[in-house]
Amino acid sequence: MTGTVHTRKAIRAAYENNKLHKRLCRQVGQAIGDYNMIGEGDRVMVCLSGGKDSHALLDVLLTLQTRAPINFELIAVNLEPVVAGYPSDTLPAYLKERGVKFHIERQDTLAIVKRHFPEGRNACSLCSRLRRGILYRVAGELGATRIALGHHREDILETFFLNLFFGGKLKTMPPKLRTDDGRHIVIRPLAYVKEADLVRYADVRQFPIIPCSLCGLEPNQQRRQMKAMLHEWQKMHPGRIENIFSSLSTVVPSHLMDAELFGFADLQADGIARADDEREAGGSESDDE
């Protein structure tokens, strides 16, 4: 009897895991299609940090690569920090086993960050900018036409509220971005994917995770606050997160306050506009009298 129960549980778990994989592939495929992220002949540089998100991104893209009606190339790139105890062999061994082309770029970004930030102060933003600049350079050297990052739905929402609360701007991480110099296209194929699904997927797939905490820097406290806020909202008000996320792609510029985004200064009522048109056409009835 016990063996039967275990068999049923195993079958059920396999079924749920298969559903999860299909859902991730569907959501990533939809995001790629909605924003035209990848086209025929693209060389996609997948930024592989060793965390759950970038591992899942590479894994799903490998699946979609075999199913897509277009041909595109994948190359994984890891920016390896100069940190004591960093497991340098972990990702190369994994990528060789998966048969994935890869490039390891070793840079001492930590030393630069520590020179500019006093001990105990959050330095994630500077570290991110440094890493991004290096990855853009590497993309050019490798001839990559797309740079794929592993940001998911919650990352996008957290960034939105960080900008709203602390930056005074309505902006977030877009699913597709052209860099300021116009040389690169950055894509976020996990834009529609929930973080909870990625946590579960990483557990199912047993990815070789490399923790970010190896750098020893303080985590971004403001982002942690946003994450906690969203988690509490999801628990207390189911559906709120979905509504907020949907609102990011349902923008009504005429009902905001950006005079550069919408022509408020030129707005006139239809009646006034018609009277102006009549005068231009030869005068109104009162003029004829």
Q: Are residues 270 and 143 in the same domain?
A: no
* Angle in degrees, CA 99, 73, 90, rounded to 5: 35
Residues 226-283: tens digit of each pLDDT? 999 999 999 999 999 999 999 999 999 999 999 999 999 999 998 755 555 556 655 5
Q: Which of 77, 45, 55 is nearest to 211 (CA)?
A: 55
The pLDDT score that the predictor gives to residue 128 is 77
The pLDDT score that the predictor gives to residue 123 is 60
- Is 53:153 a contact under the CB 8 Å cutoff? no
How many CA atoms, within 13 angstroms, populate the side-chain half-sphere of residue 59?
20
Using the 3D structure, point to which of 219, 240, 269 is the last residue of a domain.
219
Q: Are residues 159 and 31 in the same domain?
A: yes
Rounded distance between C-alpha atoms, residue 52 and residue 270, angstroms: 55
Residues 61-71: tens digit of each pLDDT? 999 999 999 99
**Average predicted confidence (pLDDT) for the chain:** 88
Residues 16-34: tens digit of each pLDDT? 899 999 999 999 999 999 9
Specify the range with the lowest mean pLDDT, choosing from 89-98, 168-177, 204-213.
Answer: 204-213
Q: Are residues 6 and 149 in the same domain?
A: yes
Number of domains in the chain: 2
- 109-116 and 124-142 are packed helices; what angle lies between their axes, rounded to 10 degrees? 150
Q: Find where tokens 């997160």 sit.
A: 241
The pLDDT score that the predictor gives to residue 278 is 59
How much of the chain, in percent, has pLDDT values that exceed 70?
Answer: 84
The pLDDT score that the predictor gives to residue 217 is 59
Q: Using DSSP, state whether 73 is helix, strand or coil.
A: strand
Rounded distance between C-alpha atoms, residue 137 and residue 147, angstroms: 11
How many Å is the Cα radius of gyration of the chain?
25
Residues 6+ apart with CB under 8 A from 272: none
Rounded distance between C-alpha atoms, residue 255 and residue 56, angstroms: 38
Q: Are residues 215 and 264 in the same domain?
A: no
Higher pLDDT, 73 or 272: 73
Q: Which domain holds residue 262?
A: 255-289
**Is residue 289 very low, low, confident or very high in pLDDT (cuts 50, 70, 90)?**
very low
Q: Are residues 167 and 82 in the same domain?
A: yes
Helix (H) or strand (E) holding 186: strand 185-187
Q: Using DSSP, state whether 161 is helix, strand or coil.
A: helix
- Is 148:44 a contact under the CB 8 Å cutoff? yes
Handedness of CA 80, 75, 156, 231 (dihedral sign): negative
Q: Considering the entire predicted model, what is its pTM?
A: 0.86
Q: Are residues 271 and 199 in the same domain?
A: no
Q: Are residues 259 and 215 in the same domain?
A: no
Q: Using DSSP, state whether 119 is helix, strand or coil.
A: coil
Q: Are residues 16 and 117 in the same domain?
A: yes
Beta strand pairing status for 176-178 and 43-47? unpaired
* Residue 41 predicted with pLDDT over 60: yes
Q: Are residues 147 and 268 in the same domain?
A: no
Beta strand pairing status for 146-148 and 101-107? unpaired
| 80 located within any domain | yes
Q: What CATH number does the domain containing 30 carry?
A: 3.40.50.620
Q: Are residues 195 and 263 in the same domain?
A: no
Helix ranges restricted to H, 206-269: 221-236, 240-247
| 35 located within any domain | yes
How many whole angstroms from its chain centre is CA 243?
18
Specify the range with the lowest mean pLDDT, choosing from 1-15, 121-135, 166-180.
Answer: 1-15
User: CA–CA distance from 110 to each of 84, 89, 121, 206, 214 (Å)?
Assistant: 11, 20, 13, 28, 11
Q: Are residues 208 and 275 in the same domain?
A: no
Q: Using DSSP, state whether 272 is helix, strand or coil.
A: helix
